[in-house]
Structure 1
Amino acid sequence: MNMTVILMMILSGLSFLPSCSYRLYILVNTQKTWTDAQTYCRSKYSDLAIVQNVKQLAGLNQLIGSDQYVWIGLYPDIGSWRWSLENQDYYTAGGARFRNWASGEPSAGLSYYKACVALLKTGGWVNKPCINQYYFICYNGKTAKSTSSSFIFVSKPMTWVNAQRYCRQTYTDLASVRNPTENEQMRKMTVFTNTWIGLYRDSWKWSDGSPVSVSNWGPAAPTGTFTDACVASNLGRWTNTGCSFQNKFTCFVEPAARKQVVQVVLEKSDSSVDMEELKEEVLQKFSQTLKDQGLEEDVRLSWVEGPDGKIFQKIKRPVP
């Protein structure tokens, strides 16, 4: 009997590993402050609830439902300061990082998400609630190359946000301070104890220190009042509220990754093809198949090499 031999390639191993999108959330009905909830979650699980993609956000929202004020692991990044004037061409080397904090500043006691910076008569800087009303200093880019000053003192007390709006509408922006010379120039303009400049903090991070990549804020949040620092889910949307309030909370745990190795037989019609050279292309084909099945975010693929360091081994299988 005649037999046709088809050359086959068998994978030494294709490894399937769940990705970080697979995360288990736990709703704890005990009432605790945000800090105590964080301590509890870290002792019992991994941490307060953290989401890094829309799939995790959907899972967390499904667990919490329409409950009111349930802590999640989001809080203000108190070290993230930036200037209102964002044009990087304006800043000399290191100029955007210049700071002249007064003793004891920035105050860690102001643990709310948004804080703004005022210049003292002494030349030092302090962080203040942005809703305070002070005189302020604008920057006028149109006069930067002329003989007149590019800094304008405005003797109209306003909140920081309103001062920013005024400077942008009338001149260029609130003043940035790039070096000691400019700081001294502005110090001489000050009349009262506090004068707004363009430095502020308005950012968030997760309990584990990771940045925020997805957002679920309600229409009125974050509000930025004094004690509004930590974040809770309220009726399905995020809102900032006082960290000292006692609420239910959500923890998360990363299940131990379960690695599974499978063997797959591939047929090639051209015996001259080197499958080792095509291993990345083959892996991409498998990944695309998983994506088409909606599993791409849950599984990570990698090759498992054989004892000889190769992925593929030749086998012969008779076909009638």
Structure 2
Amino acid sequence: MPEEDHYAKSLWWGFCLGSCLQFPLRKYYYVDQLVTWPKAQQFCREHYTDLATFESLDDIKRLQPTISYSWAWIGLWDDPNAWQTAMGNKSNSWRWSATGETSKTGYRLWGTGDPDFRYSGEMCTFMDKAGYWYDDNCGVKHEFICYNELNVKQHVFIATPATWSDAQSYCRTHHTDLAMIENEAENSAVKQLIPVGVDVWFGLYRVPWSWSDKSPSLFRRWVSPEPDNYGGIQNCVCENTAHIGKNEHHCENDDDKRRRSDRSSRQRPGPPAGFCLGSCLQFPLRKYYYVNQSVTWPDAQQFCREHYTDLATFESLDDIKRLQPNISYSFAWIGLWDDPNAWQTAMGNKSNSWRWSSTGETSKTGYRSWATGEPNFIEGKETCVTIYAGKWYDKSCNMENSFACYTGENINILNFIGRLSPLQSCFCFYAVTELNVKQHVFIATPATWSDAQSYCRTHHTDLAMIENEAENSAVKQLIPVGVDVWIGLYRVPWSWSDKSPSLFRQWRPSEPNNYGGIQHCVWENTAHMWGDEKCNATKVFICEQVVKTSTTVKMTMTSDVDLTDPAVNAQVLQQLGALLTNQGWTDFKVKWKIVSKKNKEN
């Protein structure tokens, strides 16, 4: 059986225009050695690509254990050096609401023992009257401090208690943002505004957990009640035989922890391959062009795709700083939009479409039961869903409503049972659907969507997932008359025209507001702040040109067929092209050549 080295050469615009979140294609290997998390990471990097990353349930389903184990390390961790011992500059480090970026000065004034990420729930920051900082659960209500960006920062104390998110929204609407504190003088100025005995939110937050290979994947699959950061030293993650994870003792515990590695479409030896392990969020490198034609957003998109790469995407303030306007304008289209066809007229299958909390994926059946006029994304804030009298309504996720959980148990009859919930003064009703054998539970205690999700994941499986009429009816029967109930449907609005995964936003105060329910496209003004607008309005626009790049991937292939046969060669190219197309790639060319062993040795 001949074995030869082959090179597949692919040419595309930039390193990852949108589809990189679906790459690399990984193969997983269980390693039957008991080691600490850092040792597992080192081993995997030396012998494979890295500790395992998972981006979806499809990755989980491809796991094929070859050893007997209780728990195995995976690549998810929350490096404490990035947030606990310093302000840091990693994806899980502290960031300022006003910029979405990490601290430029490194200034901090934490209270004793903080930040401690207690119960893995403290990701926002408040200041006490003494001027010290403490991390806290973002859903807790505190007074807060806004600021106005003038020649000198002007800080404003707001006495109305609010969650961190609501405080942020208020500050962005009426001022610039939640307070940003980068030195001792600014800390003292804020401290002087705080009444005795009051704790106040300010603009520091972080997004915990990151993958060892730097993947941007937000997929998580925690076992209840994880993560809990027990003892304040659980920074690494392992998974059990049911393929659900927990955080574990300061990464140095090697009791029955086998490692799991992944290989990204490659076998060693050979040059680094894989389609984007880590660096893809830093690419593509863009150059921006202002176009002095007043057109609608769709026409601007078409022009940019024909003459450049696409309408402009921004991934950081560094991108914004590279803008060099060469025309006079008030507002200019950029590539951010919220395609209504992906969420308003259908359940959709795009990045801004509706997803179920229990899977993180879009609907498999397309079933929906929206009330008339829904969903409508009022004021640009309604991204979670309630059910009322069997009809669905999109609502602001920070509203407090009763909610419905479900448990995926194997029960074969339809029944109703009543019992007291672990939540005080809450009577729960159980129902089992005839089709999917789900056990639904009504929780009467009002909570935000996020808090409801946390409760359901701790005590049941997740917030209710409704994929057909029978399940909708089963949940409807649980709900008392006149009550709105959260279910597990949510979405992340706004996506980039070039499919970039960038979450960077630069909204002007009071934006986005979806005025009139028809503002789905985004402009920027001369201060480089953004707002939403109806897509058929006419404005000048900004295009991006992405560097065209050639990448060579080395593959060692074993086959019974003659790989030099032109027909076989064409078939391989066709299959590679189909694979990339299915993953969302566009504007690419694929070619390959066979390198003989003789040439390889030379």
TM range (shorter): 0.5 to 0.7
**Residues 208 and 26 of structure 1, relative CA distance in 2, 3 Å threshold:** same
Shift of 1:187: 1.4
The aligned counterpart of 2:94 is: 81
Q: Which runs of 5+ in 1 are unaligned?
A: 1-13, 86-90, 157-161, 267-278, 307-320
Equivalent residue of 1:63, what SS? coil
Spell out the pairing of 1:251-266 with structure 2 (5 A cutoff).
Answer: 251-252=260-261, 254=263, 255-256=267-268, 258-259=555-556, 262-265=564-567
The ranges of structure 1 where at least 4 consecutive aligned residues each deviate by more than 6 angstroms after the TM superposition are 92-96, 103-112, 291-294
Spell out the pairing of 1:188-207 with structure 2 (5 A cutoff).
Answer: 188-190=192-194, 191=196, 196-207=201-212
**Residues 201 and 64 of structure 1, relative CA distance in 2, 3 Å threshold:** farther
Whole-Å Cα distance in 2 between the matches of residues 66 and 41 of structure 1? 19
The aligned counterpart of 1:26 is: 30
Instruction: Please tell me whether residue 35 in structure 1 is matched to residue 38 in structure 2.
Output: yes
Contact 1:45 1:253 in 2 (8 A): yes
**Residues 40 and 140 of structure 1, relative CA distance in 2, 3 Å threshold:** closer
TM-score by length of 1: 0.54
1:102-157 Cα shifts (integer Å, max 9, x gaps): 3999979879965543436675x64x45369x99541469xx9xxx9732257x8x
Instruction: Please tell me whether residue 119 in structure 1 is matched to residue 119 in structure 2.
Output: no
Q: What is the RMSD of the two structures over their aligned residues, measured on CA atoms? A: 5.5
Q: Which amino acid aligns with 2:164?
A: Q
Whole-Å Cα distance in 1 between the matches of residues 168 and 45 of structure 2? 45
Shift of 1:291: 7.6
Q: Which runs of 5+ in 2 are unaligned?
A: 1-5, 10-22, 83-87, 269-553, 558-562, 596-602
Contact 2:226 2:247 in 1 (8 A): yes
Instruction: Please tell me whether residue 59 in structure 1 is matched to residue 41 in structure 2.
Output: no
The aligned counterpart of 2:164 is: 164
The aligned counterpart of 1:49 is: 52
Whole-Å Cα distance in 1 between the matches of residues 110 and 179 of structure 2? 20
Instruction: Please tell me whether residue 70 in structure 1 is matched to residue 72 in structure 2.
Output: yes
Equivalent residue of 1:198, what SS? strand
The aligned counterpart of 1:303 is: 592
Contact 2:49 2:262 in 1 (8 A): yes
**Residues 15 and 301 of structure 1, relative CA distance in 2, 3 Å threshold:** farther
Contact 2:73 2:237 in 1 (8 A): yes
What is the percentage of aligned positions where both structures have the same residue? 22
Q: Which amino acid aligns with 1:251?
A: R
Equivalent residue of 1:185, what SS? helix
Whole-Å Cα distance in 1 between the matches of residues 106 and 582 of structure 2? 52
**Residues 32 and 119 of structure 1, relative CA distance in 2, 3 Å threshold:** same
Shift of 1:205: 1.6
Equivalent residue of 2:221, what SS? coil
Instruction: Please tell me whether residue 232 in structure 1 is matched to residue 232 in structure 2.
Output: no
Shift of 1:231: 1.1
Whole-Å Cα distance in 2 between the matches of residues 204 and 50 of structure 1? 12
Contact 1:71 1:247 in 2 (8 A): no
Contact 1:26 1:251 in 2 (8 A): yes
1:1-57 Cα shifts (integer Å, max 9, x gaps): xxxxxxxxxxxxx8558x9424241242x4443334334545665543234566543
**Residues 33 and 129 of structure 1, relative CA distance in 2, 3 Å threshold:** farther
Bigger radius of gyration, 1 or 2?
1
The aligned counterpart of 2:189 is: 185
Q: Which has the higher contact order (CA 8 A, sep 6+)?
A: 1
Q: Which amino acid aligns with 1:38?
A: Q
1:247-296 Cα shifts (integer Å, max 9, x gaps): 42223253225345534159xxxxxxxxxxxx9xx9974545568999x9
Q: Which amino acid aligns with 1:242?
A: H
**Residues 55 and 99 of structure 1, relative CA distance in 2, 3 Å threshold:** same
The aligned counterpart of 1:241 is: 248
**Residues 106 and 94 of structure 1, relative CA distance in 2, 3 Å threshold:** farther
**Residues 189 and 212 of structure 1, relative CA distance in 2, 3 Å threshold:** same
Whole-Å Cα distance in 1 between the matches of residues 593 and 578 of structure 2? 19
Whole-Å Cα distance in 1 between the matches of residues 168 and 211 of structure 2? 32
1:138 pairs, out of 144, 148, 152, with: 144
